Chain A
């Protein structure tokens, strides 16, 4: 038996080069220091993405986009065994994924892991975040309940404030002048075909870069002499720790999905007024509140315009950080960047809390 296994192994190895992969796994190490905890968050984001793909495929077994969208989600939630659980796992998983990605991004930022040669890691990561938010926005409409309807109405109304092309673009995305069954059909195509096709190669690129450059160490660790730095093997040591984190995360997700099953509101009805107290999900809350504030101070389209301008400037600055903070030495630019990140983080948290208090 043992002989047979080893001859099968060597047959495959000769053709696929398994030994090289093994060597790769043996040599891969992860720096081990006071801030190593933050290395888990990329893997957690990845694990959540895989879970989203699995639960998403399961939902697609019964989901019907178009005029029957609401009815099919109602059937999934109430008529199908464990349908409520699968749907809750997908909804809660989306939230936890965005949270894990957010933590991953800020930890990368504060550990200055975007510096040479990891600029493309930063940019591809931001691209993945953008696509992830696209997943969130398009997926939110799919149940076609009241909340989904108004969230999409509002979400598409914001870019329609752009001059000249804005309203044309929004109508094209919507497939009409208001949200209707064509919108659901489009968003579902976007959500299950277009976005995954864009996301997966970008994710592959991102992971390839991680493999190529290895984990970045924070400046505090970099300043130590090489002899004082420690590392642990990736396989199996770090992977085991990774898996413990995944297990904790999956259990957390399962508990949330089981105790707080995701709600399905009343069916969307274009004749009904928006319910009082309607608000976006937490990850759009900060932008929502900023737009609301600007709307108070600068009424009309000008306020929306100012808001979009502000977001664009902040996003561009955030993207260009690797080109500004380039030096390995602690200096003015490094300090400025950290302060910028802290301000942005604080502003996001503050406007989010403010948004909830102002409901």
Chain B
């Protein structure tokens, strides 16, 4: 492990070069060795992240029975790994949004009496039809999902452009 001393260094410069080479080489080997340990540990710790990412990659969720949702009420469901909100407006418009506040990630709620989506954490308010940020700290609108109604279910899917 000691940098080996060259036999009787003739020139200071040559000696320095050889020593530098050994140091750099030893450091490089050491780094590779450390990486060989760090990589499995990283992958090990990252395993559930990978799983939840593959869950989040879902592009369509079918909600049986959701077509019976009363007007003026909403339903929470899981879209992949994230909470989402299905709103049945009194005028029969159906809206689905990812229910994660764009400010700091709290789960938002539908307040039918005030016709708005509200985040209790820091008072963010969103439009209940477009998901647009109306007031409070949220920097951008909620992510919108597409809604299709069938005979027996409501099918929510990721809009084509972001999928």
- Which A residues are closer than 8 A to B by beta carbons? 58, 61, 79-83, 85-86, 236-237, 240, 243-244
Contact = CB atoms under 8 A, between A and B. Distances in A.
Interface in B6-65: 40-41, 43-47, 50
Interface of B: 1-2, 40-41, 43-47, 50
A83 B43 CA distance: 9
Contacts of A61: 44-45
B2 A240 contact: yes
Contacts of B2: 236-237, 240
Contact of B40 (A82, A236, A240, A244): A82
A244 B1 contact: yes
Contacts of A83: 44, 47
Contact of B41 (A58, A79, A237): A58
A182 B84 CA distance: 39
Contacts of B41: 58, 82, 86
B1 A58 contact: no
B43 A81 contact: yes
A81 B47 contact: yes
* Most A-side CB within 10 Å, residue of B1, B2, B43, B50: B1
B45 to A, nearest CB: 7
Given A61-B45, A80-B47, A86 B40 contact: yes
Given A58-B45, A244-B1, 19 more contacts: A58-B41, A80-B44, A81-B40, A81-B43, A81-B44, A81-B46, A81-B50, A82-B40, A82-B41, A82-B43, A82-B44, A83-B44, A83-B47, A85-B40, A86-B40, A86-B41, A237-B2, A240-B1, A243-B1
Contacts of A85: 40, 44
